[in-house]
Amino acid sequence: MKLLLKGGRLVDPASGRDETVDIQILDGRIERIAGSISLPKGFEEIDLRGKIVAPGFIDMHVHLREPGYEHKETIESGCRSAAAGGFTAVCCMPNTNPAIDDESVARYVHEKGKSVCDGIVDVYPIGAATKGRKGTELAPMAELAQAGAVGFSDDGSPIASAEIMRRALEYSSMYGVPIIQHAEEPTMTLDGCMNEGVTSTRLGILGIPPIAEELMVARDIILLGYVPKARYHVAHISTKGALRHVRKAKSDGMNITCEVTPHHFTLEEDVVASFDTNTKMNPPLRTKEDVAAMKEGLRDGTIDVIATDHAPHTIDEKEVEYTQAPFGIVGLETSVGLCVTELVQKKVLTMMQLIQKLSTNPRRILSLPPIKFSEGEIANITLLDPDLVWSVNLALLRSKSKNSPFNGYRLKGKAIGIINNGKVLFS
């Protein structure tokens, strides 16, 4: 690889740099960064004037479905979708079959990621917190951490037992990785399909009350206070009440972080009136006030990370009655466009702040090495065109599944390429 990235705007939260530079890359490493570099012999010049050069994006909440559900997605198709969306790394959640509750499954996921798509997308497993994700017995955390797990979660289900959560926090603290909680009090959400409120009553759909999320977050914060050396991360936060708990815990100096999905800061519960099963996800789409709270949480820094909760399902699985459809949507290829359109264009976040939540913060939370823009460092880069206007066409998604409510959405901002592990891919 011999590349000269010419005239791009380097936006790097780790160093605070926001400047137009040329970047010379040789054999996968940054050889030189300067205001102007003449094209060396044998190098390919990439004109990036008006484009953004950012540290490689990582999605810390992705369902790759393999092993066990390859009809929905595979590690290969998921990595192709991630690369197209501008991500150089993804974290695979453990609700596979078998669950990632064993060293062999964790190693399989980690190694399979290296063998697909020329290894341009790093795949990190999230180990199950409990055996089989059943919530009754801790998984072998030491073995999973040694096999490459960068966090522990029973995502898809909450860690409902307070005693199991306490033990999970204690043991995970030994390995410097977070417990990632799907915050839901399960006795309050049985058979629920959408946010509980006036809209669910009008539509005649059983609701999922926001208090179910808020209760679990509040309980876990109390437990975290009892195990202060642990690290706790709230997955796909969606309610203003839960966010209020996180904000207070942060102000008290607790080791707590959280993430939000693009659909939870973009869509409101009213879209469920279409009965399009692609509007069904867990946690569900919430109220206008909750959406506004998510944006404020991003603005004030309470929300650390933007993650997609990419959850592929086949057309047949989604083309059923709303109450019978599975939860979840794909999101890897629409994330950047939604972020730029909804957050940067509307001045919720600056480009620097957005990149921090897509790259710098998730790596810090997962104890992954930071990406550095300096000579001799590995080139791990996402290239972004902030002005590119495009329309979502589900038929063109690289994901094996097409379940998204954003078909036809007109967005501004798109990833145009990634560089990682000595490989380069331009969209």
Question: What amino acid positions are annotated as catalytic residues?
Answer: 309
What CA–CA distance (Å, rounded) separates 50 from 311? Answer: 33
Alpha carbon of 242 to those of 19, 93, 200, 220, 282: distances in Å? 37, 22, 20, 11, 15
Pair of tokens at residue 38:
């003449």
Integer Rg of the chain from CA: 21
Q: How many CB atoms lie within 10 A of CB 185?
A: 18
Greatest CA separation found in the chain? 68
What CA–CA distance (Å, rounded) separates 345 from 93? Answer: 31
Alpha helices in 160-257 (DSSP H): 162-172, 198-203, 210-226, 240-251
Instruction: Compute the residue count for the chain.
Output: 427
The string over 80-115, giving b where at least 16 C-beta atoms fall within 10 Å of a residue's C-beta and e elsewhere, is bbbbbbbbbbbbbbbbbeebbbbbebbbbbbebbee
Q: Which residues pair with 329 in a beta bridge?
A: 310
Pair of tokens at residue 143:
């073995």
Number of H helices, E strands in the chain: 12, 19
What CA–CA distance (Å, rounded) separates 111 from 15? Answer: 31
Helix axes 240-251, 288-300, angle to 10 degrees: 20
Q: What is the distance, to the nearest Å, from the Cα of residue 345 to the centroid of all Cα atoms in its chain?
A: 21
Q: Which residues pair with 23 in a beta bridge?
A: 5, 33
Of the candidates 277, 290, 291, 287, the one whose C-alpha atom is nearest the C-alpha of residue 327 is 277
